Amino acid sequence: MPSDTPGRLSMSVRKPIGVVAAITPFNVPLIKAAKLVASPLATGNTVVLLPSEEAPTLSFRFAQLLHEAGFPPGSVNVVSGFGVDVGDTLNSHPLVKTVMFTGSSRVGKHIGEICGKQMKHAVLELGGKSPLVILNDADLKLAVRTAVFGMFLYQGQACMASSRIIVEEGIYDKFIAAYKAAASQLSMGDLRDMSTILGPIISPRQRDRVRRHIDNAVKNGATIETGGNWHENRCEPTILTGITQAMDVCYEETFGPVTSVYSVKDYDAALAMANDTPYGLSSAIITNDLNKAMDFAENIDAGMVHINAPTLYDEPHVPFGGTGDSGFGREGVEVDVDALTEWKWITIQLPSTELPH
């Protein structure tokens, strides 16, 4: 680096931050374990991996494979248990310098408080209520395919799921009819069968949350356009209309195969509704109008925007994350460097020069 002092060499280097706590969710346990372990190791840190208590097995196997591949003992460690016990102990440990967490906004805020009090780095990838906006000029088949994929993959148990679908009134009737037909044809069963699209909800606790959101919406006047029925722990793809602010499903993340479809007058109303949420993770718009698409990208309060593509999308090198209740910081192989290293500035005053008087 240049220096304004004659005869002085100036340089800056990055140093590993130390021990990183990586806390992964139940819905994509292997993908997140790989993602939250790779970057800390690549930047010279060690990792303590805490998987969700609802899906711990893959993380143990993943760590075992790393050790079999020759990673030094202690470089990757796995602990398991409930977050309220093991998680708090891990996150508050003085040797842990960065916490990388994927999960609910409620837990993320709690972790943020712990990290803030101890001046630790935190990367929090949290929940979402992601809007998919469909304008009158949209390709109907593309809109339906995008809505089906973006909502019902992983049984809707994804932070990026298109849980709010906002449709201009000129295409609304055609869209809702085609969307209902497509959703009702999705196969349910054992996910070990490659032809199965929808499997079970992860746990009784999550099943009860999904059921509560559906029941609360219907009780307060919503209409179930399709779905709403249960087959043991499997919920049919459910499309709701007539959603109001009095309903839990309007603002709360359901994390199940339940989406709300709204009809709006025009693009401005669609944008306003899309921004009417405390979350700001992913968003998408289906339109052939490039000006409106770019206006949406500029003005939507979200960390990610996809044009003519689903809200449910990720790549390992991008700055992944959201705003508001959807998180703090970003994940990705490039941006991870900032959270996982510390800068150190070094200067050398050459002996042949004099210090300023």
- Tens of pLDDT, residue by residue over 41-94, are 999 999 999 999 999 999 999 999 999 999 999 999 999 998 888 999 999 999
Which CATH number belongs to the domain containing residue 97 in this structure?
A: 3.40.605.10
Same domain, 77 and 48: yes
Spatial distance between the Cα atoms of 346 and 323, rounded to a whole number of angstroms: 35
Q: Are residues 136 and 285 in the same domain?
A: yes
Q: Would you say residue 245 lies in a domain?
A: yes
Residues 118 and 169 in one domain: no
Q: Kindly name the residue from 115, 159, 235, 250 that is annotated as catalytic.
A: 159
* DSSP summary character for residue 247: S
Q: Is residue 350 one of the residues assigned to a domain? A: no
Are residue 143 and residue 230 in the same domain, yes or no? yes
The number of distinct structural domains making up the chain is 2
Q: Which of 125, 225, 236, 253 is catalytic?
A: 125
Are 115 and 13 part of one and the same domain?
yes
Does 125 participate in catalysis according to the annotation? yes
Residue 3 lies in a domain: no
State the CB neighbour count (10 A cutoff) for residue 20: 27
Clarify whether 159 is annotated catalytic.
Answer: yes
Q: 174 with 257, same domain? A: yes
- Tell me: do 271 and 340 sit in the same domain: no
The reply to whether 315 falls in a domain is no
Band of residue 352 on the pLDDT scale cut at 50, 70, 90: confident
Q: What is the mean pLDDT of residues 229-242?
A: 97
Cα-only R_g, the chain? 23
Task: Say which CATH number the domain at 163 has.
Answer: 3.40.309.10
CA–CA distance, 337 with 98 (Å, rounded to integer): 12
Tell whether 57 is covered by a domain: yes
**Do 163 and 146 lie in a common domain?**
yes
Helices (H), the chain: 29-42, 57-68, 88-91, 105-117, 140-152, 169-184, 204-219, 248-251, 267-274, 290-299, 336-340
Assess whether 297 and 162 both reside in one domain: yes
355 pLDDT band (50/70/90 cuts)? low
Residue 152: the pLDDT is 98
Range of the domain at 19: 8-126+326-345
Q: What is the pTM of this model?
A: 0.94
- Closest by CA position to 255, among listed 83, 130, 132: 130
Same domain membership, residue 303 and residue 201: yes
